Amino acid sequence: MDFFFNPQGIALIGATANKLKGGYAIFKNLITGFKGGIYPVNPRYKEIDGIKCFKSVKDVPDPVDLAIIFVPGGYVPAIIKDCADRGIKGVMIEAGGFAESGDKGRKMQDELKAYAKKTGIRLWGPNCMGLVDAVHKKIFSFVTPVIWDELIPGDVSLIVQSGMLSGAFLIDCMSHKIMGISKVCSIGNKMDVNECEILEYLINDPDTKAIGLYLESINNGRRFMEICGTSTKPVVVLLGGKSAGGAAAALSHTASMAVNGAVASGAFAQAGVIEAMDFNEMMDICRSLAAYPDLNVSAAGRVAVLTYTGGAGIVSSDFIDKSGIELAQLSLSTKEKIKSVFPDWMPISNPVDLWPAVERNGADLAYGTAVKAVCEDPGVDAIFVHAFTGGFALNLDMEFLSGHAGRAGKPVFCWVIGTDDAVKKLKTEAIECSVPVFSEISRAVECMDKVFTRKKVLDYRSHDNSNEKQTAKENKNRHDAECLMAVENTGLSKESIDILKSNSGVLDENLSKKILLEYNIKTVKEYFAESPEDAEKIALNLGSKVVMKGIVQGKIHKTEAGLVRIGVNSKNEAIQVFNELKTAMDQKGKILIQEQIKGDMELIAGLMRDPQFGPCVMAGFGGIMAEVLNDSVFGVAPITHFQAIELIKRLKNQELMDGFRGTDPLDRKAFAEILVKLGRLGCDFPQIKEIDINPLIIYKGQPVAVDASVVLF
């Protein structure tokens, strides 16, 4: 991939002397910053701005290892072949007219993709804006040359699927002095080069500290997770197109609740990716993570707030309270140090309202004393400073602030308001000192939270890896001692395997639970009744109350069809319900009788196959309230026990699982083990399309599957 980022020479096919055309913008950007060979290609010109122009890419001299194409899409295939014949390693196709334009363009794109695979030439794009490298002054793009007036080198790199957005957003960020940029990679339709390859390159790029991606699809979800899950640099993703239709066609609750990006969000969380919801948020999180990619403080994120206005301190406290970080408890020593610049009547607390100290001693001494004190406090993990600039003397010394915080190893964030020119000047100083500055308190707190989320991700990886190593060691020890007993059966019987191989569509509830039971997932006791007399005997044997169900091949949601009766508590009622269910099924279905379990709550667990991430497990609150509560999370299988525990922690209604109003708390380890087994089942048997356990009743803290369905391809 290096020839895309550091070519020796570039052939520009579609170069033009017309200054109103994109072909000239690319040419102008190349001659402004690129130090290698520049070879414009256009048979209409002998030269452009004094640089020799060539009739064909075949005529271009060495060295040339990159071509940029900016011509109508129909001409591109022939040019690609000329580039391959010429020995050019990579091509950036900044032209449109491919898959985004319809069937004809899609066919052309597919043919070029096959050609690239056959010949080895690498194709970046099409329908993209190429590359902007602000650090090394390389702009391989038709972005307006105005960008040179705003270019700020930085340490955040972006991978952006939208073409025009990448250029426009880049100029907006830098012109408003929000941040600098290392590289922006606009990848368009991703016919060949995709986000995974560029992400790997940027992870190893010394000029990049954090990576942001705007994607509308992920070519290989599992590969993407693998890269992100081992990345030494923070990764932030904004995923567009999450509201995909088609939920009505889903065959189970598990699949229907996988829309709106739920699977992708679960995959991102599992891989340690920070997810953003809009473009400005993505950029703000990226610049914050780039400023503080590694922390040596507590992951709790105990924040000291230094403000000049009590109101802003209160608002900051409110936002911090709703986040994953917390207000720090200042030590007595810290309070005494800060007290030295305050009037006697003023008590010291966090947030620290510095205005009385500013009135008494001036801003420099007041802020300086407070900054030094909280930097030295071991109970403070981060500092949030409020400032006003312009109009009166509250200007911050960014170098002083970043220096003290840096030596203490503590991240510092600023909320700044004031006059336009003064704020822009302060932001410029902040960029030079790598201090994230924000115009909104809420965004500042959110970015602080994300920095400490990254700290938790790194701690999580360390814990998960050590946990997996310990598990592997324990397994080996048991095996070596010849005591690896069949405590849990993780395989299916020959009968069940034959069922999976010889069927398609929805397996009935009894068969589905038989498969789960063979994977040691606890299920309710149940029997089929062949006659009213059978129903009477089974009901008496199972206990005082039973559940009777009508089983119809291909139907999942029996409750909606009126085929579930609960609380059957006499032999006469069992006979009556048997006959009623048979009638409702036109005498074609079977009657299943189960012991009735009264639990403290109903959960749902499942498995589905996502087109981008493959087999995924799902956990949530289930039963008839599954859609009402809308509380579910996904993880990409296989998952470890530790990952399953973390997955359960992402559910919103945690208090319900902890023993709400006298109920028994959920055995989270048992629930996690079910998720591990479901993931293993899905990975072991690719013919399984979906699994839905709903409800998973929690009885005395233990999960029991009382209804389930397995859907086959």
Residue 672 in contact with residue 641, Cβ under 8 Å? yes
Report pLDDT digits (tens) over 80-99. 999 999 999 999 999 989 98
470 burial level (CB within 10 Å; 0-12, 13-18, 19+): exposed
Q: Which two tokens stand for residue 280?
A: 């400005």
Q: Which residues pair with 697 in a beta bridge?
A: 602, 704
Rounded mean pLDDT, 605-628: 88
- Is residue 40 a contact partner of residue 51, using CB atoms and an 8 Å limit? yes
pLDDT of residue 464: 65
Residue 100, pLDDT > 90, answer no
Measured in degrees and rounded to the nearest 5, phi and psi for residue 517 equal -60, -35
Q: Which one, of 18, 23, 38, lies nearest residue 69 by Cα?
A: 23
Residue ranges of E strands in 121-250? 122-124, 130-133, 138-140, 156-160, 183-186, 210-215, 235-239
Average pLDDT over residues 54-62: 96
- Cβ-count burial of 693 within 10 angstroms (0-12 exposed, 13-18 middle, 19+ buried)? buried
Residues in contact with 550: Cβ distance below 8 Å, sequence separation at least 6, in sequence order: 558, 561, 563, 564, 581, 582, 584, 585, 589, 590, 591, 592
Please check the confidence at residue 259 and state whether its pLDDT lies above 70: no
Residue 530: partners with Cβ closer than 8 Å, 6 or more residues away? none
Q: Please list, in sequence order, all residues whose beta carbon lies within 8 angstroms of the beta carbon of residue 115, skipping any fewer than 6 positions away.
A: 77, 80, 81, 84, 121
Question: Hey, which residues does 213 pair with through a beta bridge?
Answer: 159, 237
Mean pLDDT of 215-222: 90
Q: Whats the size of the chain, residue-wise?
A: 713
Q: Which residue has the higher pLDDT, 497 or 660?
A: 497
- Which pLDDT value is given to residue 352? 97
Residue 489: band (very low, low, confident or very high) from pLDDT cuts 50, 70, 90: very low
**Cα distance between residue 459 and residue 474, in whole Å:** 22
Give me 643's structure tokens. Answer: 């990952």
377-417, pLDDT tens digit by residue? 999 999 999 999 987 667 788 999 999 999 999 999 999 99
Confidence bin at 467 (pLDDT 50/70/90): low
Residue 165: what pLDDT? 59
Over range 150-173, report the average pLDDT: 80
DSSP output for 643-665: HHHHHHHTSS-HHHHTTGGGPPP
Q: Quick check: 251 pLDDT over 70? A: no
φ/ψ of residue 300, rounded to 5? -65, -30
In three-state secondary structure terms, 709 is strand
Kind and range of the H or E run holding 529: strand 526-529
439 band by pLDDT with thresholds 50, 70 and 90: very high
Query: In the chain, what are the domains?
Result: 2-208 (3.40.50.720), 294-454 (3.40.50.261), 525-595 (3.30.1490.20), 601-712 (3.30.470.20)
- pLDDT-derived band at 190 (thresholds 50, 70, 90) equals very high
